[in-house]
């Protein structure tokens, strides 16, 4: 606990002490002899923490750092306003000077190839955040993995989009967000096989330990996309639990197995979904859905 003696000598009626001390942890001023609390909350008068906007918040930190930005938002922008502090418009010469300053400021933020790659991939992350409905925390994790891959020099000689797609997929796996390689590869207009190869490289080089895909999230996603009823969802989750107990989920494509579970649950409750609809959602083949559904009927529903 840190104390300091207040410079101004004061007295109070309980004792003749004239050396009160300040506890900066609790913000109190107490008497050094009798322990009387003279001031319960010490208001800071330091110029460093003065507020000029009338708000009670004394913080001066500004915006938080964001990994999904090239320079983590640790920069300032020159505004586009063309008037001075008094509201008068700038002269023609001053406007030209400000235009050149803005241009040089923008170029300085993407001076190196590393800065340009950061700007490119983080711009794609921002688009995928809205397109695939991915949370900000997942985007931040993907940006963190991309920076680590950049430090490991994994981007040398490789397409930046492929590394970024693999980082985003790894972040979705870690946050248990049901997004497949096909979803991310299609959104970035790259090949799924190339993203898969970069993902394996990323896991090996960065020594990532990622959880197994949560099949219940996949089942819920497919059922919501189909507009299935709550009964179908409950039965599908029950079939999934029985399949996990029977150990028939290991080594299977998660989305293909989840689609077969929803397909079988719909048949059992009289809500028929065509295999064509499921194929459009999970991007698999009818053979996969037919094979998985037959296996579920034989080993789960007939027992």
- What burial letters (b/e) apply to 288-297, b meaning 16+ CB within 10 Å? bbeebbebbe
Q: What is the pLDDT of residue 55?
A: 54
Specify the residue for token string 């639990």.
241
CATH number for position 277: 1.10.472.10
78 within some domain: no
What pTM, to 2 d.p., does this model score? 0.62
Which of residues 51 and 248 earns the better pLDDT score? 248
Whether residue 194 lies inside any domain: the answer is yes
> Are residue 251 and residue 167 in the same domain, yes or no?
no
**Chosen domain end from 206, 240, 262:** 206
**pLDDT at residue number 283:** 81
pLDDT in tens, 128-165: 888 888 888 888 888 889 888 888 888 888 888 899 99
Clarify whether residues 118 and 201 are in a common domain: yes
Domain boundaries, position 147: 113-206
The residues pairing with 21 across neighbouring beta strands, listed in sequence order, are 5, 30
Q: How many domains does the chain contain in total?
A: 3
* pLDDT band per the 50, 70, 90 thresholds, residue 58: low
In a domain, 61, yes or no: no
Residue 184 confidence (pLDDT) above 80: yes
Q: Which of 188, 206, 224 is a domain's end point?
A: 206
| Residue 57: inside a domain | no
Q: What is the mean pLDDT of residues 247-257?
A: 83
Look at 27-36, 41-50, 60-69, 258-267 and tell me which has the smallest mean pLDDT.
41-50
Q: Is residue 280 part of a domain?
A: yes
In this structure, what token pair is assigned to residue 301?
């529903």
Band (pLDDT 50/70/90 cuts) for residue 2 is: very low
Tell me if 175 sits within 8 A of 128, measured CB to CB: no
| Predicted pLDDT at 249 | 82
Q: Which of 206, 232, 266 is the last residue of a domain?
A: 206
Q: Which two tokens stand for residue 8?
A: 């101004």
Question: What is the per-residue pLDDT for 166?
Answer: 92
């Amino acid at each position: 606990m840190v104390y300091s003696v207040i410079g101004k000598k004061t007295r109070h009626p309980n004792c003749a002490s004239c050396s009160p001390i300040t506890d900066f942890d609790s913000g109190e001023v107490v008497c050094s002899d009798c322990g009387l609390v003279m001031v319960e909350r010490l208001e800071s008068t330091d110029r460093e923490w003065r507020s000029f906007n009338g708000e009670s918040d004394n913080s001066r930190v500004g915006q938080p750092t964001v990994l999904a930005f090239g320079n983590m938002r640790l920069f300032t922008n020159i505004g586009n306003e063309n008037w001075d502090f008094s509201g008068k418009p700038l002269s023609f010469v001053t406007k030209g000077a400000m235009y050149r300053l803005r241009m040089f400021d923008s170029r300085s933020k993407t001076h190196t190839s590393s800065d340009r790659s950061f700007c490119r991939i983080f711009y794609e992350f921002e688009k995928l955040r809205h397109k695939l409905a991915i949370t900000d925390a997942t985007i931040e994790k993907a940006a963190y993995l991309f920076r680590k891959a950049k430090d490991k020099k994994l981007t040398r000689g490789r397409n930046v989009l492929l590394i970024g797609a693999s980082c985003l997929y790894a972040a979705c796996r870690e946050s248990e967000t049901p997004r497949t390689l096909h979803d991310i590869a299609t959104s970035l207009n790259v090949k799924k096989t190339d993203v898969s190869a970069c993902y394996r490289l990323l896991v090996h080089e960065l020594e990532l330990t990622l959880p197994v895909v949560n099949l219940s999230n996949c089942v819920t996603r497919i059922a919501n996309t189909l507009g299935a009823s709550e009964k179908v969802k409950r039965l599908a989750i029950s079939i999934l639990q029985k399949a996990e107990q029977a150990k028939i989920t290991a080594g299977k494509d998660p989305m293909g197995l989840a689609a077969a579970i929803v397909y079988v649950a719909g048949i059992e409750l009289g809500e028929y979904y065509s295999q064509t609809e499921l194929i459009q959602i999970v991007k698999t083949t009818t053979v996969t859905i037919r094979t998985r559904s037959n296996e579920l009927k034989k080993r789960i529903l007939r027992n």
